[in-house]
Chains A and B, each alone.
Chain A
């Protein structure tokens, strides 16, 4: 008896034939999207720290300069996390009573350092140097976002290699005058690209081939 299948199978079999290809494509696409999503990159994820430190308040409202706390940013690869002492410079006078600041005082008395959760972190084989970026006119905000608007600090950008490359291939898109580096509110001018190229010459910024060489970041 040759008739094995009902008529519906004709549609079904074709659907399955081409459907399988579609499904495969879909799965791949989902993977690619996932790795770039905050689930993959942790971008935009707020972190609750033991001390609810607000950049918004300190930078945005009080207008404290980045370098007051991140002292080594201009001459070291590491921007520097302020020692408890730095906090106490002010907070031994103001807000002395607030128990938000209890851990800080505790740390200062007991000489036990505060522990912050890392917010911006790169894998171990990536060697990022703050000083060179800051000195070549890359603003803090370019990578860290509008810190001055962050009540809780979070990682602003994906920090994926493709993201790094975008800038290393076209620095002119991000470069700003050195004076503006620490200015959170800096707005790119209309002629950014023009200005960028001009600044690149001024600051002797290496060509794309050099900036995208592997050993610039990986050693």
Chain B
């Protein structure tokens, strides 16, 4: 696309958009959706490939200052002076709250499986650009996961469905609603017996209420709920154990010993933020060297199959097949004296381990926590409940409350029932809300065939996904940042969701649609939500029920992002007396023959660590975010242990351009179960359980979009195709054969070992108590040696002292608490306009992330003893090797000790990157930044230059945030307060593992951490004097198992 016609496009677009103001403008964007220029802009290839000339550092112009208008300033960046003279277009009527050039924050929440998480959304001139966690929200506490960070990109995703379609042809909402009306009116007389609604679990009270209204108006209609990550076992166990459907809550901050039975509660799953925070609150070691003996930590035992973040952080990790975990659970239970009717399980080779764990659990009665993972059969869940009750944890560390989801609980039966009804033509009208069963339903349900038989099928969703394509009508849904709504957090706390922006494509929310189905007339979302909460308020409030009073309540709720007092009360429940009855081995959903020493291969399923169940498949940030334990990007794979790989004859294939920092052509294995089979590239994961092969859901999409895969160019393979409702999470006895095909897998770090370099320094709690400064010891020793050799300090140059009276910015990262969830990586990408480069470029070793999470394996790759995560941003060295080799002063030190990178001065010699000992610098080998895709440009952070081709870039400590805080402080003539500057990575981190601040202020958090005995600098011996330092990792292993 040459520069010229791009320019004309934009001009055209500009024309069409003139005369719009404030949020209104977005609506006109929607009307525009038809025009050729806009189509062209939206259809641009993506992720961007190298483009010829545009050296457009100045695209930001369009973003700032232009306010409401789309006045696109000239395309040439730092090429010619004078800077291109664009148009400047003021408002006609100034909007109340917006101050041009200053960002605003709005509270809202993102509903995701596991409960909504409260967010604060940064908005520039009516454009949401960045998402932060809401500190006041129980599920967030200020933190966010990769999914929340990335949702902003989904909002602007050019692949989002932009119009209503009927059999693929564009239609208007009015037509769609008319069809629905007639359809429903026909059904009304027989109570809607032939009407079916399929939705995901309902987190929204307002939606729940609309559902009730609908079912009132159509009493015979059925509402089905389905979620791909089936929890039948958990729910069934609840029913059997307590005779009712409950949610289980864990107080990790109160637990001294945690036993996880295949539960990845520290993983990057959306609901985990609070758990991570609570768990890590017990692992922070801030005691000074003097009273290091007082230091205490909780202890984590983990039995799992694949290497998850939880397993990586565990003090003791046992890697066994999913099907074998039940046996171990039974063994532990029986050791604890919990009756394990049926088989008492057998620890097999892990006798000692089991005994030690049981002893430890016993020892900490009441301060113990046992949880079972989704994938585990009913029996394991039952045992977990039982042990918790037996050890008196209930009420201490474990609590029960009514389930957060309203309406029917998501059971696979519900979906099967729907499928059967459809097959027997009992369904004449099906409305799918936001779900995508055609892609994700278990194979044995054959949902697609059944679906074809329904005469009128309507789908509401963000994308023209697999299900949408097989429905007559597709209604484009509004993104959660575009609509009014509400959602409950895991503990029931409700949050009001407010639109940050007019719907880009005039989408509607599920609430609005269901309300229409119920009443056959349109009601704006805001009204629906307000009325729901008005009633709630009417019940709650003691005072006068005036509108003003409600408005006040409404405003505070909106502002705080939580509706006060909506958390669920704790329920005191006890196990049913006959619960053991259900422990019969066959009762377990698996039907796994967990005989010890059984060598057959097992196929285990898991949600993908980055694209989750597939609903995020079209998100470039998530696709390119390296998966925590494998660092794979843009693909899922058949994960297996080195041992298993050897058995299958799998080994690393020919390397791609980047070598281990790029990718390999891996052999493809065929996985066969009964008549189902799938081809999957193999990937070797040190620490994975032997004889088990893990595959992740979420890939192999047929119509996700240009990023997530389309029929002609799929990304990864579809693991759902191997899944049945009877064996939803693991399949024993799968046939695995290596084919002679190969597939390129792009990874960012294949080298697992530290090669005897103390990069990640770690020790047991015991050792810390004896020798608190074990981490900084090597340097101390070195210094002693050197001074012995040469009394004078080994300096050639006299040091250059920075000017006083300026802050000394620095960062400290706590390796004990970092769980490697990658939230920092995506947050940084969102904050700093970091481009997505695509699989091929990642394979060439050119990914652009400013902060990466290194992953090391202690011991050997065959038998890993420990796993380490080490986030590595720019070190901002005081003796930066990159600076003195730059020939043009494109990277120099600022007075506050920032390692400034001046993009517009950079000529791209790459010497700085070569000489960077930490290899944190990233180079724009091509024109990566996407200036062409109109909608994506709206997401760019106006305070950060968008880098063009041929310049180096790297972590800037979020200098734009520093400056903003500094200017505010200067205006008020006061020093910057500690915590006033929060970097993007720090803000996102759920574990609170990052501290940033002024080191010259000894009161600042960062300074405090830095003075900890655990503090050490990476590669300190090089004399680079990093401003970013680490707190060594401390683990709390059970002495009985040490060396065992």
Do the two chains touch directly in the complex (Cβ atoms below 8 Å apart)?
Answer: yes
Are B967 and A122 interface neighbours, CB within 8 A?
no
Which residues of chain A are within 8 angstroms of B59 by Cβ–Cβ distance?
Answer: 124
**Closest chain A CB from B233 CB (angstroms):** 51
Closest to A135 in B: B971
Which residues of chain A are within 8 angstroms of B102 by Cβ–Cβ distance?
Answer: 72, 75-77
Are A83 and B100 interface neighbours, CB within 8 A?
no
Are A83 and B900 interface neighbours, CB within 8 A?
no
Closest to B945 in A: A125
Given A75-B971, A78-B101, A219-B956, also A127-B963 (CB < 8 A): yes
Q: Which of B68, B85, B91, B101 makes the CB contact (< 8 A) with A118?
A: B85
Are B967 and A115 interface neighbours, CB within 8 A?
no
Within 8 A of B (CB), among A101-132: 107-108, 110-119, 121-125, 127, 129, 131-132
Interface Cβ pair total, 8 Å cutoff? 189
A207 lies within 8 A of chain B by Cβ: yes
A58 lies within 8 A of chain B by Cβ: no
**Closest chain A CB from B346 CB (angstroms):** 62
A170 lies within 8 A of chain B by Cβ: no
Interface hub of B67, B101, B905 (most chain A Cβ within 10 A): B101
Are B971 and A112 interface neighbours, CB within 8 A?
no
Bound Cα distance A204, B943 (Å): 25
Are A135 and B970 interface neighbours, CB within 8 A?
yes
B21 lies within 8 A of chain A by Cβ: yes
Are A83 and B91 interface neighbours, CB within 8 A?
yes
Within 8 A of A (CB), among B875-895: 889, 892, 894-895
Closest to A81 in B: B90
Are A122 and B83 interface neighbours, CB within 8 A?
yes
Q: Name the prevailing secondary structure of the B interface residues.
A: loop
Are A125 and B88 interface neighbours, CB within 8 A?
no
Which residues of chain B are within 8 angstroms of A186 by Cβ–Cβ distance?
Answer: none
**Closest chain A CB from B841 CB (angstroms):** 24
**Closest chain A CB from B859 CB (angstroms):** 43
Bound Cα distance A218, B903 (Å): 8
Are B68 and A214 interface neighbours, CB within 8 A?
no
Bound Cα distance A215, B945 (Å): 12
Given A76-B100, A116-B89, A214-B900, also A219-B960 (CB < 8 A): yes
A216 lies within 8 A of chain B by Cβ: yes
A206 lies within 8 A of chain B by Cβ: yes
B571 lies within 8 A of chain A by Cβ: no
Are B967 and A132 interface neighbours, CB within 8 A?
yes
Bound Cα distance A125, B896 (Å): 21
**Per-residue contact bits, chain B 146-188, to A (CB 8 Å; 1 contact, 0 not):** 0000000000000000000000000000000000000000000
Closest to B891 in A: A214
**Per-residue contact bits, chain A 66-81, to B (CB 8 Å; 1 contact, 0 not):** 0000001001111011
Are B895 and A123 interface neighbours, CB within 8 A?
no
Given A136-B970, A216-B963, also A121-B84 (CB < 8 A): yes
B756 lies within 8 A of chain A by Cβ: no
Are A218 and B803 interface neighbours, CB within 8 A?
no
Are B21 and A113 interface neighbours, CB within 8 A?
yes
Given A135-B971, A215-B956, also A112-B892 (CB < 8 A): no
**Closest chain B CB from A76 CB (angstroms):** 4
**Per-residue contact bits, chain B 42-68, to A (CB 8 Å; 1 contact, 0 not):** 000000000000001111110011011
Are B60 and A124 interface neighbours, CB within 8 A?
yes
Which residues of chain A are within 8 angstroms of B88 by Cβ–Cβ distance?
Answer: 81, 115-118
Which residues of chain A are within 8 angstroms of B78 by Cβ–Cβ distance?
Answer: 123-125
B412 lies within 8 A of chain A by Cβ: no
Are A123 and B77 interface neighbours, CB within 8 A?
yes
Q: Which of A42, A119, A159, A210 makes the CB contact (< 8 A) with B895?
A: A210
Closest to A86 in B: B94
Q: Which of B77, B87, B900 makes the CB contact (< 8 A) with A125?
A: B77
Interface hub of A40, A76, A80, A108 (most chain B Cβ within 10 A): A80
**Closest chain A CB from B98 CB (angstroms):** 10
Are A114 and B101 interface neighbours, CB within 8 A?
no
Closest to A85 in B: B93
Closest to A121 in B: B83
**Closest chain A CB from B222 CB (angstroms):** 48
B81 lies within 8 A of chain A by Cβ: yes
Bound Cα distance A91, B389 (Å): 78
Bound Cα distance A217, B960 (Å): 10
B914 lies within 8 A of chain A by Cβ: no
Which residues of chain B are within 8 angstroms of A204 by Cβ–Cβ distance?
Answer: 970, 973
Q: Which of A35, A122, A215 makes the CB contact (< 8 A) with B963?
A: A215
Which residues of chain B are within 8 angstroms of A123 by Cβ–Cβ distance?
Answer: 57-58, 77-78, 81, 83, 904
**Per-residue contact bits, chain B 655-666, to A (CB 8 Å; 1 contact, 0 not):** 000000000000
A82 lies within 8 A of chain B by Cβ: yes
**Closest chain A CB from B655 CB (angstroms):** 37
**Closest chain A CB from B75 CB (angstroms):** 10
B566 lies within 8 A of chain A by Cβ: no
Are B92 and A113 interface neighbours, CB within 8 A?
yes
Interface hub of B898, B900, B946, B970 (most chain A Cβ within 10 A): B970
A209 lies within 8 A of chain B by Cβ: yes
Which residues of chain B are within 8 angstroms of A135 by Cβ–Cβ distance?
Answer: 970-971
Bound Cα distance A40, B82 (Å): 6
Are A132 and B100 interface neighbours, CB within 8 A?
no
Bound Cα distance A84, B213 (Å): 47
Are A117 and B19 interface neighbours, CB within 8 A?
no
**Closest chain A CB from B870 CB (angstroms):** 26
Are A113 and B963 interface neighbours, CB within 8 A?
no
Interface hub of B84, B88, B896, B973 (most chain A Cβ within 10 A): B88
Q: Which of A108, A114, A219 makes the CB contact (< 8 A) with B944?
A: A219
Are B61 and A124 interface neighbours, CB within 8 A?
yes
Are B19 and A112 interface neighbours, CB within 8 A?
yes
Which residues of chain A are within 8 angstroms of B81 by Cβ–Cβ distance?
Answer: 35, 40-42, 123, 160
B818 lies within 8 A of chain A by Cβ: no
Closest to B68 in A: A113
**Closest chain B CB from A155 CB (angstroms):** 8
Q: Which of A72, A108, A116 makes the CB contact (< 8 A) with B99?
A: A72
**Closest chain A CB from B28 CB (angstroms):** 11
A20 lies within 8 A of chain B by Cβ: no
**Closest chain B CB from A78 CB (angstroms):** 3
Are B895 and A218 interface neighbours, CB within 8 A?
no
Bound Cα distance A150, B527 (Å): 52
Are A121 and B85 interface neighbours, CB within 8 A?
yes
**Per-residue contact bits, chain A 131-168, to B (CB 8 Å; 1 contact, 0 not):** 11001100000000000000000000001100000000
Bound Cα distance A76, B968 (Å): 9
Bound Cα distance A131, B77 (Å): 25
Q: Which of A114, A160, A206, A213 makes the CB contact (< 8 A) with B900?
A: A213
Which residues of chain A are within 8 angstroms of B805 by Cβ–Cβ distance?
Answer: 207
Which residues of chain A are within 8 angstroms of B896 by Cβ–Cβ distance?
Answer: 210, 213
Are B69 and A72 interface neighbours, CB within 8 A?
no
Bound Cα distance A76, B902 (Å): 24
Within 8 A of B (CB), among A165-215: 203-204, 206-207, 209-210, 213-215
Are B943 and A117 interface neighbours, CB within 8 A?
no
Which residues of chain B are within 8 angstroms of A86 by Cβ–Cβ distance?
Answer: 94
Q: Which of B56, B90, B894, B945 makes the CB contact (< 8 A) with A82?
A: B90
**Closest chain B CB from A22 CB (angstroms):** 28
Are A84 and B90 interface neighbours, CB within 8 A?
yes
Q: Which of B60, B90, B889 makes the CB contact (< 8 A) with A114?
A: B90
Bound Cα distance A108, B805 (Å): 51
Which A residues have a C-beta under 8 Å from some C-beta of B?
35, 40-42, 72, 75-78, 80-86, 107-108, 110-119, 121-125, 127, 129, 131-132, 135-136, 159-160, 203-204, 206-207, 209-210, 213-216, 218-219
Q: Which 6 A-B pairs have CB atoms at the shortest separation, nearest pair first?
A: A124-B58, A112-B19, A78-B101, A213-B894, A42-B82, A210-B895
Which B residues have a C-beta under 8 Å from some C-beta of A?
18-19, 21, 56-61, 64-65, 67-69, 71, 73, 77-78, 81-94, 99-102, 802-803, 805-806, 889, 892, 894-896, 898, 900, 902-905, 943-946, 956, 959-960, 963, 967, 970-971, 973
- A sample of 15 inter-chain contacts (CB < 8 A) reads A41-B82, A83-B92, A84-B93, A108-B92, A112-B18, A113-B89, A115-B88, A124-B56, A125-B57, A125-B78, A210-B803, A213-B894, A215-B898, A215-B900, A216-B894
